[in-house]
């Protein structure tokens, strides 16, 4: 039993040492994180020090657009702001450099330009005081991440370019497919007689001029042929071989190469719909959409006060049938916008709606001022430059990565 006890004691000792080392290492790591946090001044700005000289640089935005304000001290005592010459340069990702100069306002120096969002840049500060120059540089990033091109491709992160667009405003309407009034032709025998042979059956496709019937005239006892007057499908058969024609309809041939979508437009939308307007049709059970135009309208309104507008639908492949339900986007206006982005690229960041700009293998938020929404696009009034490459597909991956990194908004 003694050897077993010694082994257990040794294992316990090693585990304790290992845990102690890990805990110690964790504590050191925590200490390093704390030491890495930038020092804050009495005005909640970042403190920059060199010897006895110190600068507190703060982004001030209470009651005013964001701007820099600076307090200078030496040996902890305030310096007359008029005696400090100060310049700050902000190097932005893909957006150039903001060059900010300062002027005295009371007990501090005030920057001469607005610091627009995002507040993500490399800060370079130069101060001159009593003939000596002081220089600091640090990163102040937010809403930014880096993903290698091959990884971004594997994640199917797709991009587009911010640019002008033409918006097509539409209304959504519903209806069903029907046949034109003249779609069906009735087939008669020219002279009454015995129908010797019916050459087609129900559902057959026929061409114009195709033989349909052979009839023997009761008067002349001569046989003659009856041909189809149009392309179509045999939609009804009212006779069989050996029957008498008796002046009645023997066959019906329906041409379904063109169908009509009868779309209900309700009173509130009636003033916006015009003949000739573009209509994009989605037909029940059919993946591909059809584009056509509003061809005509029915004068009488339905009991629910909707007016039916008619749109011609191409059916040369006979894939569509009368009675299918259909929805349509009818264009009621179009206008040009200077900038637009795809709505599927939008994400939220703090209190902003953003897209992610792409510069090389880096991605960063752009806070957008948005306008009108039409379809899959949205107008952009500000917050991004025309020509900027931005993420359209799988932007949520970038959002998750940035939130995971916990980048702060340093003021």
The secondary structure of 222-274 as a DSSP string is: -EEEEE-SSSEEEEEE---TT-B-TTS--EEEE--SEEEEEEEE-GGGGGG--
Q: What is the pLDDT of residue 410?
A: 54
C-alpha to C-alpha distance for 69 and 291, rounded to whole angstroms: 58
Residue 258, number of CB atoms within 10 A of its CB: 13
Q: Say if CB 379 and CB 167 are below 8 A apart.
A: yes
Q: What is the pLDDT of residue 259?
A: 96
Looking from the CA of 109 toward its CB, the CA atoms found within 13 Å total: 24
Q: What is the pLDDT of residue 409?
A: 53
C-alpha to C-alpha distance for 303 and 56, rounded to whole angstroms: 74
Q: What is the pLDDT of residue 189?
A: 96
Q: What is the pLDDT of residue 404?
A: 85
Average pLDDT of the chain, as a whole number: 90
C-alpha to C-alpha distance for 206 and 237, rounded to whole angstroms: 14
Going by pLDDT thresholds of 50, 70 and 90, the confidence category of residue 36 is low
Q: What is the pLDDT of residue 309?
A: 97
C-alpha to C-alpha distance for 281 and 313, rounded to whole angstroms: 9
Q: Say if CB 365 and CB 354 are below 8 A apart.
A: yes
Residue 358, number of CB atoms within 10 A of its CB: 21
Where do the H-state alpha helices sit in 303-354?
Answer: none
Q: Residues 112-116: contacts with CB within 8 Å, 24+ apart?
A: 113/67, 114/65, 114/66, 114/67, 115/59, 115/66, 115/67, 115/68, 115/90, 116/66
Q: Given a cut of 80, is residue 294 above it in pLDDT?
A: yes
pLDDT digits (tens, 9 = 90+) for 179-232: 999 999 999 999 999 999 999 999 999 999 999 999 999 999 999 999 999 999
As a whole-number percent, the residues of the chain with pLDDT over 90 amount to 86
Q: Given a cut of 90, is residue 136 above it in pLDDT?
A: yes
């Amino acid at each position: 039993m003694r050897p077993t006890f010694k082994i257990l004691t040794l294992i316990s000792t090693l585990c304790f040492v290992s845990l102690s080392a890990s805990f110690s290492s964790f504590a050191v790591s925590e200490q390093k994180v704390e030491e890495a946090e930038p020092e804050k001044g009495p005005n909640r700005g970042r403190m920059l020090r060199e010897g006895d000289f110190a600068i507190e640089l703060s982004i001030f935005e209470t009651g005013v657009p964001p701007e820099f304000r600076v307090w200078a001290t030496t040996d902890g005592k305030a310096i007359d702001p008029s005696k400090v010459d100060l310049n700050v340069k902000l190097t932005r990702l893909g957006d150039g450099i903001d060059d900010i100069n300062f002027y005295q306002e009371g007990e501090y120096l005030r920057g001469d330009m607005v610091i627009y969002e995002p507040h993500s840049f490399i800060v370079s500060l130069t101060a001159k005081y009593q003939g000596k120059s002081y220089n600091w540089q640090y990163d102040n990033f937010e809403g930014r991440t880096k993903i290698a091109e091959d990884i971004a491709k594997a994640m199917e992160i797709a991009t587009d370019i911010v640019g002008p667009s033409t918006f097509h405003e539409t209304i959504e309407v519903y209806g069903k497919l029907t046949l034109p009034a003249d779609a069906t032709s009735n087939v008669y025998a020219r002279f009454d007689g015995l129908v010797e042979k019916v050459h087609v059956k129900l559902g057959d496709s026929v061409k114009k001029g195709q033989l349909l019937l052979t009839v023997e005239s009761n008067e002349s006892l001569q046989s003659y042929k009856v041909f189809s007057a149009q392309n179509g499908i045999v939609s009804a058969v009212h006779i069989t071989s050996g029957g008498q024609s008796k002046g009645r309809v023997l066959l019906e041939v329906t041409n379904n190469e063109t169908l009509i979508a009868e779309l209900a437009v309700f009173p509130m939308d009636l003033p916006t719909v015009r003949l000739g307007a573009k209509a994009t049709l989605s037909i029940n059970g059919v993946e591909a959409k059809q584009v056509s135009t509003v061809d005509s309208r029915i004068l009488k309104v339905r009991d629910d006060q909707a007016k039916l507008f008619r749109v011609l639908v191409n059916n040369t492949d006979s894939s569509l049938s009368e009675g299918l339900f259909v929805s349509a986007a009818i264009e009621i206006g179009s206008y040009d916008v200077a900038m637009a982005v795809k709505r599927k690229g939008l994400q939220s960041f703090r209190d902003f709606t953003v897209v992610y700009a792409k510069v090389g293998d880096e991605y960063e938020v752009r806070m957008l001022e948005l306008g009108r929404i039409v379809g899959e696009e949205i107008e952009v009034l500000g917050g991004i430059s025309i020509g900027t490459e931005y993420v359209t597909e799988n932007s949520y991956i970038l959002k998750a990565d940035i939130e995971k990194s916990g980048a702060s908004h340093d003021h």
